[in-house]
Amino acid sequence: MHIFLIKSLLAVVLLLLSLVNMMTMFEMFGRQERKFDPETLRKVHRLSGTVFFLLSLGIAYICLDFLVKTKAEPSPRSALHAVFSVAVLFLLSLKVLFNRVYRQFYGRLQTMGLILAFVSTAMISSSAGYFLLVSKFGKETPASRTVEQKKDAVQAAGHMAAKTDPASIERGKKVYGSKCTFCHDPFSNKTLTGPGHKGILKNPLLPVSKKAATPENVAHQLRTPYKDMPSFSSLSDDDVQDVIAYLNTL
Ligand code: HEC
């Protein structure tokens, strides 16, 4: 299962827990005549709150791990999502503190609970909601997008896109022939000193670093290589663009 799908399903559980928390609070404080035993409501509220907290930490770990591994610059949407998630963890910690230690603030807890429910919903819909919608509920993972769609997405995000004009490709091929074929085979995935480059920009991830296969990350590899590859910081920006245009055809 794709990691985004797992995360989205966990997020749906999170949404349900936040609903349970809100409803138990409403039942506890909102009715003139209580329908349920307050002690039971309190227990359910506390239990689902604790599970919510632990699950959020788990999901935050998955997100951070993904971010570190791909070294991707967060999109505006993921940045917004990150702000919401920090707000959730912050509000939740405050709520526990006010409930346990700073009891003078106890009266604020209900309002905070409502804000927490709102921020959680915003956090979940800006990520899981979005993902489930665009992936047709997990049927199409981002990795299965076509190269054209990937290129459009990269362009839409204002990032670097590979040039496609024949002159750039031809120039890139020359640079590649003089500087790269010593260690890389352009026509297979066999490893010489470095990995083969067949389909390098068509695969979802780069072969060694496992960063997203984007022109930007290839440019980064040329300037500051992942591990053992020599740096090509002497190549001009135009040369780099041309080499990427050529790699894009492999
Ligand atoms: C002296 C050998 C050598 C030369 C020359 C070389 N590379 Fe590499 N390349 C490597 C090695 C080794 C790796 C594996 C990753 C690493 O150690 O940085 C690699 C990895 C890569 C990767 C994959 C990076 C990743 O994140 O998985 C790309 C793309 C790449 N090289 C492009 C180029 C291009 C373009 C050139 C020519 C301008 C070039 N390399 C020249 C050795 C070389």
d(CA 198, CA 186): 5
Measuring from each residue's beta carbon to the nearest atom of ligand 1, which residues come in under 6 Å? Answer: 179-180, 182-184, 193-195, 200, 206-209, 211, 218, 221-222, 225-230, 232, 243
Q: How far is the CA of 226 from the centre of ligand 1 (A)?
A: 8
Tens of pLDDT along 61-120? 888 887 776 666 677 888 899 999 999 999 999 999 999 999 999 889 999 999 999 999
> In angstroms, how far is the first alpha carbon of the chain from the final one?
29
Mutation choice for ligand 1 from 229, 234, 240, CB with most ligand atoms inside 8 A: 229
- For residue 41, pLDDT beyond 90: yes
Which residue, by CA, sits nearest to atom 5 of ligand 1? 180
φ, ψ of residue 65 to 5 degrees: the values are: -60, -45
**pLDDT, tens digit, for every residue of 205-248?**
899 998 889 898 999 999 889 988 888 888 888 999 999 999 99
How far, in Å, from the CA of 212 to the mean position of ligand 1? 15
Q: Please give the share of the chain, as a percent, with pLDDT higher than 90.
A: 48
Its sign, for the CA torsion 26, 30, 36, 42, is positive
Kindly tell me the sign of the dihedral angle through the C-alpha atoms of 66, 70, 73, 75: negative
Q: What is the pLDDT of residue 156?
A: 46
How far CA 179 is from CA of 143, 196, 206, 250, in Å, comes to 30, 14, 19, 16
**Taking the C-alpha atoms of 61, 62, 68 and 74 in order, what is their torsion angle to the nearest 10 degrees?**
-100
Q: Is the pLDDT of residue 1 over 90?
A: no
**Residue minimizing CA distance to atom 14 of ligand 1:** 194
How far is it, in rounded angstroms, from Cα 133 to Cα 56?
21
CA of 215 to the centre of ligand 1 (A): 14
pLDDT at res. 130: 81
What's residue 144's pLDDT?
45
The predicted structure's pLDDT at residue 116: 93
Q: How remote is the CA of residue 127 from the centroid of ligand 1, in Å? A: 34
Which atom of ligand 1 approaches the CA of 225 most closely?
18
Q: Pick the residue whose CA is nearest to atom 11 on ligand 1.
A: 194
Q: How far is the CA of 51 from the centre of ligand 1 (A)?
A: 45
Q: Please determine, for residue 4, whether its predicted confidence score (pLDDT) is greater than 80.
A: no
Tell me the residue type at 73: E
**How many residues make up the chain in this entry?**
250
For residues 195 and 185, what is the distance between their CA atoms, to the nearest angstrom? 7
Residues 6+ apart with CB under 8 A from 94: 112
Query: pLDDT value at position 70?
Result: 62
Higher pLDDT, 238 or 137: 238
Q: What is the pLDDT of residue 115?
A: 95
Query: What residue's CA is closest to ligand 1, atom 37?
Result: 180
pLDDT band, very low/low/confident/very high, at 204 (cuts 50, 70, 90): confident
Residue nearest to atom 26 of ligand 1 (CA): 209
